[in-house]
Amino acid sequence: MKLETFFEKFDQFADAPDAVAKMRELVLELAVQGKLVDQLPSDEPATKLLERIQKSKERLIKERAIRRQETDAIECDSAPFPIPQSWLWTRLGEIGDWGSGSTPPRGNHDLYNGGITWLKSGELNDNLALGGSSETVTELALKTGSFRRNQSGDVLFAMYGATIGKVAILAEPAVTNQAVCGCTPFEGVSNRYLFNYLVSQRAAFHKASEGGAQPNLSKVKIVAFPFPLPPLAEQKRIVAKVDELMALCDRLESQQQEREKQASKLARASLSRFADAPTPANLHFLFHPSYAISPADLRKSILNLAVYGKLAAPVPDDDEIPSIEKFREAAASLATSLGLRSPKESLDEADPPFDVPAHWLWMALADLGAAQTGTTPSKNDHEAFNGDIPFIKPADILPDGIDYSNESLTRYGAKSGSRLAPAGSLLMVCIGTIGKCNLLKRECAFNQQINSLSPVQWVDSQYLFLALRAPYFQDEAWKKSSSTTIAILNKRKWLSIPVPIPPLAEQRRIVAKVEQLMALVDALETQLAASRATAEKLLAAVVAELTEGTHASPAC
């Protein structure tokens, strides 16, 4: 396959992650391996070009214009990759003069604000014509410091930290700090070709860097880095072809962004239609190939629709929901049976956060069951641990259930140092990772970062679970939490959050509808992932096909 055909078939790869970015990488990879343009017999071979470069270099050294930088020759068996016969492996130190800058003492104000551009590594962003800087220095700074005076057309290379490998071509004379190395390419080396090569090798430069939190790449390593030298005429053809293909990538990226904007509008319209009629048929529209909505966002929408009363219609035969007073009486009775205290004071009844069906009731979480906060037995009390009662911590509460296997308490430990919650109770983290929640399938103890609620007989535990996972409740929980070094949701504030409650039979229909829709989302998400995986595999296969072929027999 030709590279042009690859671009023509972009739509087949568009679903692959970072498709345009990978196309840019491919263009540069092909360019520096001699696979982007044809080699012409009329071109002066790189061996003769290097001889001319070395003569020019020796003349500059003799004139004391530059210093000598010794490098070793590259043997064929150590070359990073094959190159055409007319090319030659050399090193960066052989094709240009390299040098870094420095930072003048900050306390000396005579050294700053002098109008001389002073660049730092963060200002390099693969610019082809970099001009201006956030700070300037004076001529005195250059005279008293150790600076390389870079000229317009020089190539800059970032050597430190997260910016390692960032490059730029200067549009004006400038100096740099010590984190940037500048290069004046010798006659016969295109600064644009050097620029493209440095960008193409960014991963290799990162790999060669040293250091922990602040990795760096020394000038010694830079000048010793291998460089594939093509004939000068071919360098120019490569640069022209790269520019042409990068412009095409820009257009594709622009088209992709425009499609994404239109897709966003279509997605909002489809989501609105689903909210008005949340049926499996309308759910499929949300996974249209051109505007698939994030499955995570869709799951949140389904949970909100559930608590807004839009997933299940009322049935005339449903029993009426009991009064709030009866709920409170049942909650107090349940608390007594579990050996817990009822809330000491009634909780404020705030205005409903949103409208729900007229036959529903808004109730504080405290009205729905018996609540408690866990504790941790003393670690010195060895009789408390290693029993048959699971001891749950926040990390044990997972999206798809609760992990009961990590730590356990004895019956003595559960009663003396922790709390016991029966099966069917809901656990929710209220310190740290606020909002994590799930239902207990067996009796458990839990630590002080977790609250539990054991629901009364008119509350389906599965409905309570989906209500507490709904974005509305999660947002309320975070709003009521204290903002310290670690987030804390006070138990009383947690219990004060209002929850919309339909009749018990309707709760169960809502749970069944949510399960049906969530299963469809799971299936559609799998299809979406498979489609993207196919696009990614196709992209990888085409890239492999393109990078395996060559225009000529390799030099080594």
| 3-class secondary structure, 231 | coil
User: For position 465, what pLDDT does the model report?
Assistant: 96
Beta strand 420-421 pairing with 444-446: antiparallel
Q: Cβ(300)–Cβ(274) under 8 Å?
A: no
CA dist 245 → 7, 27, 127, 261, 500 (Å): 9, 7, 17, 24, 57
Q: Fold match between 44-230 and 324-502?
A: yes
Closest CA to 39 of 83, 71, 101, 72: 83
Buried b (16+ CB within 10 A) or exposed e, 407-434: ebbbeebbbebbbbbeebbbbbbbbeeb
DSSP 251-265: HHHHHHHHHHHHHHH
Contact assessment for residue 365 and residue 348, using Cβ atoms and an 8 Å cutoff: no
Q: With the C-alpha atoms ordered 323, 329, 332, 338, is the resulting torsion angle positive or negative? A: negative
Distances (CA, A) of 329 to 61, 325, 422, 423, 457: 95, 6, 20, 21, 12
| Close Cβ partners of 401 (under 8 Å, ≥ 6 residues apart) | 438, 441
pLDDT at 238: 96
Q: What is the pLDDT of residue 131?
A: 94
Q: What is the pLDDT of residue 550?
A: 45
Run of H or E residues at 143: helix 139-144
CATH class, range 324-502: alpha beta
Please list the rounded mean pLDDT of every run of 10 residues in the chain (556 residues): 60 65 88 92 94 90 85 80 94 94 93 94 94 94 92 95 93 95 95 97 90 81 95 96 89 76 62 67 62 76 89 86 92 90 60 88 94 90 90 94 93 76 95 95 94 96 96 93 86 93 95 90 79 69 60 52
CA angle in degrees (0–180, nearest 5) for 43-47-48: 65
| Measured distance CA(236)–CA(192) in Å, rounded | 8
Helical residues (DSSP H) of 277-323, grouped into ranges: 280-285, 295-308
pLDDT value at residue 458: 96
User: What residue ranges do the domains of the chain occupy?
Assistant: 1-34+254-292+302-313+504-549, 44-230, 324-502
Residue 352 token pair? 């409903």
- Can you tell me the distance from the alpha carbon of 322 to that of 415, in angstroms, rounded to the nearest whole number? 33
- Nearest CA to 477 among 522, 512, 426? 426
What fold characterizes domain 44-230?
Answer: Adenine-n6-DNA-methyltransferase TaqI; Chain A, domain 2 (3.90.220)
DSSP H helices, 375-503, are: 411-416, 461-469, 471-480, 491-496
pTM, entire model = 0.60
pLDDT at 553: 47
